[in-house]
């Protein structure tokens, strides 16, 4: 079995690439961007290995405390878009035996574990950082994964965003809602639209809702002015080393304001506007400087919404709807 599709880019022998992911059996190969990236690495002549965050360790018997990993090699089948969706072989991957190896055996390691960014996730970034100090390139940089909350990180460019407030104080949040009318409440640790609530300043029970989402005013949340243009879609733009290589528009389902694909949003092909390219250009130098190689930003009506750095999705949709070989282009830039 092999993914024999032709990818662009220079090949780098049979170097191994390690992907730190959720258990591979749980991935949805026709949706998951990690699978698309693994296939592209394989097409570029790389050996693909996988592990979970729980497979990372430090070898205590070594005086240098070398970081190690229990990983397994995988071979992926070709998964191609078709008129009816995707041609998915069964099985779509074959895995070799698990074995302990030094993390330094992998020149490049992808940290693609899905949120939540909990204790296990944070400890994994610390272990990966030990490998980074020994010369391994970790994508995205472990320190930046810890520092960049996907909601709060965007506030570095608050002038590009809809009016926003982050607070755990219900009075402050209610005042913002009274000032702006329609608002959206976002838990800072949420993903894929989970827990996002729309309300307005005059809503009955607003105070009770704010106490609920802040865990009785103990956890901060983000509240933003609602952008009615979200009905036309929320654009996911994928940046690789700061360069926008593809985008997909996500239109909310009927009766829904959230456009995330996980909650029923409908993907559609799109082009970038000049305003959106300007947003990407403004973000690019900081993303490069902080080692955020593969990033997905969300833009609604020309306003920056979020900066996704943990395991951004959208590759499959960009490739199938836009005809852009995004995963292969990503590997080209990585291996250049």
**What is the C-alpha separation between 300 and 227, in angstroms, rounded?**
7
**CA 168, CA 221: separation in Å to the nearest integer?**
6
Out of 132, 234, 276, 306, the active site residue is 306
* Catalytically annotated residue among 235, 236, 303, 316: 236
Length of the chain: 336
> Which of the residues 186, 235, 303, 316 is marked catalytic?
186
Q: 298 an active-site residue? A: yes
Report the run of H or E that residue 44 belongs to, with start and end.
none
Catalytic residue among 43, 113, 258, 303: 258
The residue from 140, 149, 260, 308 that is catalytic is: 308
Active-site annotation holder among 290, 298, 317, 319: 298
175, 176, 197, 235 from 225: Cα distances, Å: 12, 9, 12, 18
CA distances from 31 to 27, 98, 216, 234 (A): 8, 26, 37, 18
Q: Is 333 a catalytic residue?
A: no
Catalytic entry in 43, 108, 151, 191: 151
Active site annotation includes 186: yes
- Catalytic-residue membership of 113: no
Kindly state the helix (H) or strand (E) to which residue 94 belongs, with its residue range: strand 93-95
Does 151 participate in catalysis according to the annotation? yes
Q: Of 43, 191, 250, 303, which one is the catalytic site residue?
A: 250
User: Angle at which helices 33-43 and 315-322 pack, to 10 degrees?
Assistant: 70
Catalytic residue numbers read 151, 186, 236, 250, 258, 298, 306, 308
């Amino acid at each position: 079995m092999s993914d024999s599709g032709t990818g662009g880019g220079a090949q780098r022998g049979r170097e191994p690439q390690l992907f730190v992911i959720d258990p591979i059996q749980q991935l949805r190969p026709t949706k998951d961007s990690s699978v698309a990236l693994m296939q592209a690495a394989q097409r570029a002549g790389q050996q693909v290995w996988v592990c979970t965050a729980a497979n990372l360790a430090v070898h205590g018997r070594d005086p240098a405390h070398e970081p190690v990993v229990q990983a397994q090699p995988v071979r992926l089948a070709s998964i191609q878009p078709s008129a009816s969706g995707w041609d998915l072989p069964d099985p779509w991957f074959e895995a070799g035996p698990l074995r302990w190896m030094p993390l330094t055996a992998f020149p490049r390691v992808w940290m693609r574990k899905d949120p939540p960014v909990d204790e296990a996730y944070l400890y994994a970034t610390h272990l990966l950082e030990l490998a980074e100090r020994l010369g391994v390139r970790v994508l995205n940089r472990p320190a930046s994964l810890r520092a960049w909350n996907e909601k709060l990180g965007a506030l570095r460019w608050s002038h590009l965003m809809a009016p926003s407030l982050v607070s755990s104080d219900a009075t402050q949040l209610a005042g913002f809602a009274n000032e702006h009318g329609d608002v959206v409440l976002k838990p800072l640790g949420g993903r894929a639209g989970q827990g996002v609530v729309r309300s307005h300043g005059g809503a009955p029970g607003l105070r009770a809702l704010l106490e609920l989402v802040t865990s009785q005013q103990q956890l901060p949340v983000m509240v933003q002015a609602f952008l009615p243009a979200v009905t036309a879609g929320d654009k996911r733009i994928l940046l690789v080393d700061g360069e926008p290589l593809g985008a997909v528009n996500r239109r909310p389902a009927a009766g829904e304001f959230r456009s995330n694909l996980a909650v029923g949003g409908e993907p559609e092909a799109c082009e970038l506007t000049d305003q959106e390219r300007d947003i990407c250009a403004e973000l690019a130098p900081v993303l490069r400087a902080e080692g955020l190689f593969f990033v997905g930003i969300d833009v609604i009506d020309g306003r920056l919404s979020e900066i996704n750095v943990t395991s951004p999705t959208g590759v499959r949709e960009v490739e199938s709807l836009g005809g852009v070989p995004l995963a292969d282009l990503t590997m080209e830039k990585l291996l250049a």
